[in-house]
Amino acid sequence: MSQIQNSNQYQIQWFPGHMAKTLRMMEEEIRNVDACLVLLDARIPLSSLNPEIEKIAAHKPRLYILNKADLADPAVTAAWVRYFHAAEAGCVAISAKQKGGTAAVKTAIDAELTELFAKRERRGMAGAKTALMLCGIPNVGKSTFINTFAGSARAKAADRPGVTRGKQWVTAGKYDLLDMPGVLWKKFDSPKIASNLAFIGSIKDDILDGEELAMNLLDEVRAHYPAKVAERYALTPETLALPPYELMEAIAKKRGMLIRGGEADTARAAVMLLDEFRASKWGRISLEVPPEREA
Ligand code: G4P
């Protein structure tokens, strides 16, 4: 478990039918691919690691791709890459949104598949295409990744979780990429995982209490990055130290978000806070640090 403690108590058990279907589809398709690219969110690598995908891909070479590294704390991301490498797992941190952002992935895939390539060479099949399954939770950046990886806008990037529904093959040079819809899992092991997924927008906001979510996010981030929160909302140390709901009220008032009677419009402030965090307006923030390894 992460060292970052979190007071959130979300009990989200959400598993739409199309996600169950996706998992079945993955079970069928896994035998048709050479390796799995597991896209994770660099801000929450473990919380975004779907245990169902781990099970399905257990016998395939895997490469873990920490996407959206441009949004995460660079020192923490570097620690995560070391964490995966220490477990002898292939891992690269990238920003799929940036031009050339996926170049490192191709090198890393080839490193993961040296055995397969040697085997093909021996069999005179060196030119064969490499089939890869791209998997990850909703909103982790799969469409964006494919666009950058394939070098043209083959897959349309969607702006909300769960929009990409069917699987599709995309050819990118010597690779054939099987794009799977984003998938969560049935039951989160801890409330922390659920809240982390909600913070970054991988669980649809409309099934969550926005004010509670924003308040908990604010509380979590100020515990680890107090200066970033204080700077973004020009807060004095006294205001920054307020209980979470009062802090959100203070920020609402500072932004002129008021309802009749001059009270803080916390509903509006919550939407603003989540939007600004997700758009990286608070700066580069990681919500999870690697667990201590047992000696
Ligand atoms: P999905 O297929 O896995 O559901 O994800 P998708 O590619 O649709 O990406 C979801 C959101 O994440 C998009 O933002 C996309 O631009 C953004 N994104 C993907 N990769 C990166 C990255 O490496 N860095 C950053 N900063 N953002 C990334 P959006 O707000 O929904 O759309 P838009 O901003 O592209 O208009």
Regarding pTM above 0.85, the answer is: yes
The pLDDT tens digits along the chain (295 residues) read: 333 333 344 445 567 778 888 899 999 999 999 999 999 999 999 999 999 999 999 999 999 999 999 999 999 999 999 999 999 999 999 999 998 888 899 999 999 999 999 999 999 988 889 999 999 999 999 999 998 998 864 544 444 444 445 678 888 888 999 998 898 888 888 889 999 999 999 987 777 889 999 999 999 999 999 999 999 999 999 999 999 999 999 999 999 999 989 999 999 999 999 999 999 999 999 999 999 765 5
Confirm or reject: Cβ of 43 under 6 Å from ligand 1. Answer: no
Distance 154 CA to ligand 1 centre (A): 15
Name the residue at shortest CA distance from atom 24 of ligand 1: 68
Confirm or reject: Cβ of 140 under 6 Å from ligand 1. Answer: yes
3-state secondary structure the chain: CCCCCCCCCCCCCCCCHHHHHHHHHHHHHHHHCCEEEEEEECCCCCCCCCHHHHHHCCCCCEEEEEECCCCCCHHHHHHHHHHHHHCCCEEEECCCCCCCCCHHHHHHHHHHCHHHHHHHHHCCCCCCCEEEEEEECCCCCHHHHHHHHHCCCCCCCCCCCCCCCCCEEEEECCEEEEECCCCCCCCCCCHHHHHHHHHHCCCCHHHCCHHHHHHHHHHHHHHHCHHHHHHHCCCCHHHHCCCHHHHHHHHHHHCCCECCCCCECHHHHHHHHHHHHHCCCCCCCCCCCCCCCCC
Distance 159 CA to ligand 1 centre (A): 7
Distance 79 CA to ligand 1 centre (A): 23
Name the residue at shortest CA distance from atom 9 of ligand 1: 141
Confirm or reject: Cβ of 182 under 6 Å from ligand 1. Answer: yes
